[in-house]
Amino acid sequence: MIRLVMLGTSGAMPTPRSNPSCFAVKFGGVYLFDCSEGCQRQMMKYGTNFGSVKAIFISHLHADHFLGLFGLVQSLNMTGRKEPLQLYGPKGTKKFLGTVFAMKEFMSSFPLEIIEVAPSKKPFYSNELFTVKAFNVKHNAPASLGFVMEGLSYRRFDMDKCKKVGVSGRMFSQLQEGGTVEINGKKVKYADVTYVQGGKKIVYTGDTMQCPAIATNAKDADLLIHDSCFLDKHKDHAKAKMHSTCLDAAKNAKKANVKKLILTHFSNRYDDLAPLLAEAKTVFESTELAEQGKEILI
187 and 234 co-located in one domain: no
Q: Classify strands 223-227 and 186-189 as parallel, antiparallel or unpaired.
A: unpaired
Q: Find, among 14, 60, 16, 59, the residue nearest to 39 by Cα.
A: 14
pLDDT(177) > 90: no
24 and 166 co-located in one domain: no
DSSP 8-state secondary structure symbol assigned to residue 191: G
What is the pLDDT confidence band of residue 55, given thresholds at 50, 70 and 90?
very high
34 and 179 co-located in one domain: no
Residue-level pLDDT at 106: 95
Residue-level pLDDT at 3: 95
Pseudo-torsion of CA 251, 255, 260, 261, nearest 10°? -30
9 and 126 co-located in one domain: yes
- Residue 44 makes CB contacts below 8 A (sequence gap 6+) with 50
Per the structure, the complete domain to which residue 111 belongs is given by 3-153+198-297
263 and 212 co-located in one domain: yes
**Does the reported pTM lie above 0.85?**
yes
pLDDT(108) > 90: yes
Residue-level pLDDT at 236: 96
**What is the CATH number for 229?**
3.60.15.10
Last residue of a domain, one of 138, 168, 195: 195
Q: Are 35 and 68 in contact (CB under 8 A)?
A: yes
**Highest mean predicted confidence (pLDDT) among 11-15, 94-98, 174-178:** 94-98
| pLDDT, tens only, 129-165 | 999 999 999 999 999 999 999 999 888 899 999 999 9
120 and 75 co-located in one domain: yes
User: 3-state DSSP: the chain helix, strand, coil percent, rounded to 5?
Assistant: 30, 30, 40
Residue-level pLDDT at 17: 85
Q: Look at the chain and count its residues.
A: 298
134 and 95 co-located in one domain: yes
pLDDT(243) > 90: yes
Please, what sign has the CA dihedral across residues 44, 46, 51, 56? negative
| pLDDT, tens only, 190-233 | 999 999 888 999 999 999 999 999 999 999 999 999 999 999 99
12 and 145 co-located in one domain: yes
Average of per-residue pLDDT across 278-293? 97
91 and 177 co-located in one domain: no
Last residue of a domain, one of 177, 195, 213: 195
172 and 31 co-located in one domain: no
- Total number of domains in the chain: 2
Q: What is d(CA 265, CA 23) in angstroms, rounded to the nearest whole number?
A: 11
Q: Are 71 and 104 in contact (CB under 8 A)?
A: no
Residues designated as active site: 64
93 and 163 co-located in one domain: no
120 and 185 co-located in one domain: no
| pLDDT, tens only, 9-50 | 999 988 888 999 999 999 999 999 999 999 999 999 999 999
Last residue of a domain, one of 195, 225, 248: 195
